[in-house]
Structure formats: structure tokens, C-alpha cells
A and B are shown apart, each in its own frame.
Chain A
Amino acid sequence: MLSPIVFSVLLIFVAIFFTYHAKKIRRNILIGKDIDLSDNKGERFKTMLKVAFGQSKMVVRPVPGIMHFFIYAAFVITQIELLEIVIDGISGGHRRIWRAIDGTALSGLYTFTINFIEIISVLAFVATITFLSRRNIIRLARFQKPEMKGWPTKDANLILCAEIFLITCIMMMNSADLELQARGETHKTAQFIISSNFQGIFSGMSTSAVHLFERIGWWGHIMGIFGFLVYLPISKHLHILLAFPNTYYSNLKLKGEFTTLEAVTDVVAPNFDPAYQPKTDPNNPVRFGAKDVHDLNWKNLLDAYTCTECGRCTSACPQNITGKKLSPRKIMMDTRDRLTEVGKNMDANGGTFVDDGKSLLGDYITTEEIWACNTCNACVQECPVNIDPLAIIVEMRRFLVMEQSQSPAELTNMFSNIENNGAPWQFSQSDRANWTNEN
């Protein structure tokens, strides 16, 4: 038999290819600075269960939330059928699991599972068509923003079309198989609730033609999955895997609490407490804030790979809503694009990054975007997988102000007012209680 060998070779190739890329992504994420997120394991696990597994933030917008849930459920549950496909593929058999359990107490479970997969697949099919029309016919505003032009839109459509292809193939496989069973060609299963409706399509065909369609369905489905695994690492679709670690490593603090830079404390604190002991190594000075991906932490970079460009953040951003250039989604997309570029640079230079004269801030993200932010946390609140675009924006402001002394003139004035009078405006600190004597 040739097909088990072909199948096994392809399976091994896909596994190696995927592992290779997964390792690259992991290496790229770890370019980021270290941050200790090993605390609160219980709460982290709960957050992951609720937000990633339970999709709690997706359903805030009910239509896409429920539609997405269909695709998500179909994806998760179809893995059971995929297991049988892989067993059959390696062994050159047909419905091996069914044949092993037919007649036992487990046979009902098999029939239930396949039928459940079929129903959820139909729902996923409807959801996919809905998503395609939201992007291409209804043309929802958040999918038409400048950062979506070109590849990001194609990427999204390609993935949706792949889902339609996968569902079509598995339906074709099951309905052709039911026809073959009726002709006594394959091992008999129970009827399948959806595919039995399409069985009639094959009734006038020769048995060998039905066999061919069954095989096209089977191979089409598994090839679709192999192709998807090869494509996944270069697509925007990594959230199907990374949503889980990304929500696990969520910021568990209140959104209003911004990070405290210890390196700054080490400089400021001795003015107030001569006995203060520095916490950072003075011989290894760090850059304040972030100019490039190296200056961000690994969670910021994991955020970038997790982003699936849904644009909920951007549609909630007060500055984007009012026509400003800032788009939190673009911040994430730029971070990922630059990180990919840095990764390729490292590959080409034996694993070390060679300065390419470019940086995330400047070549990808402009200061105009950075200074527009209200730090209102709407983007953070919106993200269904707990990505934090604001953290990156704040790090870039820190770089601009503390390393470059660059800020809009009015903000520079505000800083000097605070420094000199203890207020952002030009009022004397000694007049601070004057209001108590005014009527």
C-alpha cells in the first residue's frame, strides 16, 4: 500500500516543519526582556479558563461572539475525528476506531460524537460565511482600517476559506461513505444527521466514483489540516494556540497601575533616603523605555504573536474613533512585523542580531501615534485574549521622554511646571490652599 507511506511521510514533514517554526517563534518572543510572571498560578489558571477556554470576553459582542464560538467549538471537537483520520492514515485502514468499538457499549458514543461534530460543523460553516460577508460585503469599519490593507485582509479571507474547505471535505467524506456503506463497500456505521442528507448526490454514480469522492473528502480534509499547520506560523491565526498562554500570563493587577521602573527608583530614591540600597546593577545600565522589540518584555512580544487582528481594540479607542492615526491593533501588528524582521536578521547572521539601522519606534510606529493615546485602557478592556497595547505605548513614551528628551512642546512645559511648582500649570505651590479663602 502506497498511501500509508505517503501519509506518514507527510505527517512527519508537517510535524518537523511546524516544530521548527514554533521554536523560532519561541526564540523571537524570548528576545524580550525578562519579566517574572510565575506568581498566582491559581488565579492565572482561572483567568485562562475563563477568558481563553470560556471565551468570556468574546461574547461581549454577541453576534461575532456566538459565531466565533461555533468555529472554536468545531475546531476543538473535530480533533476527535482527526484522531481517527490519523490512525486510518498511518495504518491504511478505514474508520479504525469505529471498527474497534462497533457492537460495544462505546459505539453509541462514536455515533453521538460524529453527529455532534456534523452539527457543530454546519454551525461553523454558517459562522464562516457570516464572517466572510462581514469583512467583504457588509464591510464593517474595523476591518477596513489602513493597517488592514493588503496582506492582513488576504490572510483573514484565506483562513476563512480554508475553514469552508475543511468542512466541505469532511461532509463529502461522510456522505460518500454512507453511500458506500449502503452498497456494502465499507463497514456499516449509524446514520449521520447532516451528511445523510447529501448521500443522494452519489446514488447515481458508479461505486468506484463514490470511492473516489470519499477519498477526495478524506485526503482533502487532512491535507487542509496539514496545510493549515504549515501556514499557521506565518499567518495572524496563532491565537488558536497562543490565546491560552497569553491569558495565563495576563496582567492581574488593576489596569490603572502602571509599572514602576526600578532603575529610575535607584536614581531618585537616594535623594530622599541616603541609606537606600539600589535594586538594579549600576554596571549594567538599562535603556529607559522601549525603542525596539529588544526593549519590550517577552509578554509584550507574546501579545504581538497572539493578536489575530480582530480590531476590537481599535474600534473602542477614543482617538481612533475620532479619526486620529493611533490604532492599538496597528501597534500590535507593527510589533510582530518588526519582531519577525529581527528574527530573520538573526537567522541570516548565525543567531545574533546585526544592527539594521531600523527600529520599531520610528520605522514602524510613529511618534504621532504614541502621543495621541489617552491611556484610557479601552483597548486592554476590549481584547478577547488579554493583549495590552497600552503597555507598549507607555514604554515608547518613556523612551522618547527619558532617553531622547523628545515630547510635544506643551508636555515639556507641563513637565517643567510640575518640576518647578508642583503642578502641571504655572501656579505657585505656596498658593495651593488659596481656594480655602476664596468665595
Chain B
Amino acid sequence: MSDKAIKVRTFAEMTAAGETPEILFWVGCSGSFDDRAKKITKAIVRILDHVGIKFAILGSEEGCSGDPAKRAGNEFLYQMQAMQNITTMNMYNVKKIVTGCPHCFNTLKNEYPALGGSYEVVHHTQLVQELINVGKLKVQGGEFKGKKIVFHDPCYLGRANSVYEAPREIIQKLDVELAEMKRSKANGLCCGAGGAQMFKESEKGTKEVSTERAEEALALEPDVIAVGCPFCNTMMTDGVKHFNKEDKTKVLDVAELIAKANDL
């Protein structure tokens, strides 16, 4: 991935300049604040820039989607967040949203409509697949050509929304060997972060969920564990470190694979 500077504008800036963005890039908390996840965010930006989509972010007007609050049972806090975000997005007349996080994706797509926020919401892997399909994005394998990549399904993209093929189709475009874990797609095993577990210590047990999942992925001896969620990324990275395999196996988001392979 190149180091060239990125230029990202907010909805407020574009609206002030009399421009209408085609799509809102919903960055999410992890993508905004987590150092590792920011790299994914930038990879998505480079892809959007490369194909020339007129996009904008909400910047400081974006607030947590409310997902962790809702999964943890705090429906009040969730609805406060959701209605604040909906008010902002409706004000900007947002029509289409791309997210870098399956949790934001799920919440915005499936749960915001009940509170008055109906938008066309896609996960970044779906948008990339669409861009490839319509010929706007040409993808080469680059440094990943011939490498073994295993995709870990994020629960909130896979089981929660039945999106299994988009990330796989993109990965296959890189001319790689796509390996599958036994527990994949509808039977995929969680990374351990969902349901607000990301924000707390786990209960007493024999093992961390992330260790269990990383062990399964590492058994395939992949060069890359591909993910589509910043939280899965954190968990799988932890799991790979647990087995001291970080030199052999990288954990990368599908957006990073595309951006790196094509030098975006």
C-alpha cells in the first residue's frame, strides 16, 4: 500500500461546498480510533478514491452506532445513539452507506429502520465486489499471488446477514489459494469479540475464544488470515500472537488485501 496522502472530506464540508456525496463512508469507532483499524479505514478510502466514488464521512458528527450497547442489553443508550445518528444522516439526506465494520453494518441496515433511518447499507466487501463486477475496479494478485489465504467469517456479516460470498469472491480475484476452515460460513466460529465481549474480560473457562479460532485457522498454515471486521482483526491478531506465528501468518482485512495487491 502506498504512502501517498489521502484526502477525506466530511458531509459538512461537501455540503457547504454545494456538493452531494454519492455515498457515506461510515467509519465506526474502531476504524476511527484503533491504530490497527485505522489502516483498514485508509485502505477502504484508497479503494474509494481509486475508483473515483464521491464519498464523505460524518467525522465528528458520527457517533457510536449503538451496537455494543444494544448487544449488552442497554436499549436506552442504543436508541439514544441511533436517533442522534439518524437525525444527522437524515439532515444530510444520506441514501447509501458503506461501512468498514459488520457491527455498524448490521445495526444501520437492520435496526435503524425501526427508528426512522432507512438507507441502503453495504459492507465494504460488498461494495468492492460490486465495483469489480461492474468493471470499475480491476484487481490483481500482486504480492499475494499464489499465497494461501483463509477467510474468517465475521458473525455479523455472515450468520447475521447471510453475506458469505462477497469477501470470498474478492479474495479469489487475487489469484490465491482460498482455504476454508471446517467451521466456516453459516457454521463459522466467532472470534470472541461479539456481544460486547470486546469490552470486557471473559468469564472463567479453559481457553479464550480467540485462541480456539486462531488455532483452527493456523492449522491450515495460511500466509494470511483474512477478516472483514476490525474486532475480528484484533482477536485473530491476538490469537496468532498467542501461538507466536505472527511472522508466518498475517492478519489482514479484505480491504487491505485489495489495496496492497494493487498498490493503491
On A, residues with C-beta under 8 Å from B are 60, 253-258, 260-261, 264-265, 267-269, 271-272, 288-289, 316, 318-319, 321-326, 368, 371-378, 380-381, 394, 396-402, 407-408, 410-411, 413-415, 418-419, 422-425, 427, 429-436, 438-439
Contact = CB atoms under 8 A, between A and B. Distances in A.
Contacts of B17: none
Contacts of A436: 6-8, 57, 59
B59 A319 contact: no
Given A254-B160, A415-B77, A429-B63, A374 B194 contact: yes
A410 B81 CA distance: 19
Contacts of B7: 436
Contact of A401 (B38, B72, B79, B194): B72
B201 A375 contact: no
Given A272-B83, A377-B160, A433-B10, 9 more contacts: A264-B79, A268-B80, A324-B202, A324-B205, A376-B155, A410-B199, A429-B63, A432-B32, A432-B60
A267 B72 contact: no
Contacts of A321: 189, 209, 212
Contacts of A430: 60
Closest 4 CB pairs of A and B: A256-B160, A397-B73, A323-B206, A422-B63
Contact of A424 (B8, B42, B64, B204): B64
Contact of B29 (A373, A401, A424): A424
Secondary structure type dominating chain A contacts? helix
B29 A423 contact: yes
A322 B209 contact: yes
B29 A425 contact: yes
Interface stretch (B106-114, B130-138, B142-150): B106-114
A435 B73 contact: no
A431 B61 CA distance: 10
B68 A424 contact: yes
Contact of B209 (A257, A319, A368, A399): A319
Nearest to A253: B110
Given A318-B189, A407-B73, A260 B64 contact: no
A433 to B, nearest CB: 4
B187 A381 contact: yes
Interface in B16-58: 27, 29, 31-33, 38, 41-42, 57
A287 to B, nearest CB: 13
13 contacts: A264-B75, A321-B189, A374-B155, A374-B194, A378-B189, A397-B71, A407-B73, A418-B64, A422-B81, A422-B84, A423-B33, A425-B33, A439-B3
B202 to A, nearest CB: 7
A271 B77 CA distance: 13
Contact of B41 (A326, A381, A413, A435): A435
Contacts of A433: 8, 10, 32, 57, 59-60
Contacts of A272: 83-84, 87
Interface in B145-198: 155-156, 159-162, 186-190, 192-198
Interface residues of B, number: 74
B151 to A, nearest CB: 16
B215 to A, nearest CB: 11
Given A378-B159, A408-B200, A432-B32, A322 B208 contact: yes
A271 B83 contact: yes
Nearest to B183: A316
A432 B62 contact: yes
A427 B211 CA distance: 28
Nearest to B6: A436
A253 B198 CA distance: 26
Interface of B: 3, 5-8, 10, 27, 29, 31-33, 38, 41-42, 57, 59-60, 62-64, 66, 68-77, 79-81, 83-84, 87, 106, 110-111, 114-115, 155-156, 159-162, 186-190, 192-209, 211-213
Contacts of B41: 435
B100 to A, nearest CB: 11
A59 to B, nearest CB: 14
A308 to B, nearest CB: 20
Nearest to B87: A272
> Which residue, A256, A257, A319, A424, has most C-beta atoms of chain B within 10 A?
A256
B73 A318 contact: no
A261 B75 contact: yes
Nearest to A257: B110
A336 to B, nearest CB: 23
Given A323-B206, A376-B194, A398-B75, A255 B159 contact: yes
B72 A407 contact: yes
A428 B173 CA distance: 39
Contacts of A434: 32
Contacts of A418: 63-64, 66, 68-69, 77, 81
A161 B182 CA distance: 34
A76 B33 CA distance: 59
A372 B115 contact: no
Contact of B200 (A269, A368, A371): A371
Nearest to A434: B32
Contact of A256 (B79, B84, B110, B193): B110
A400 B73 contact: yes
Nearest to B194: A374
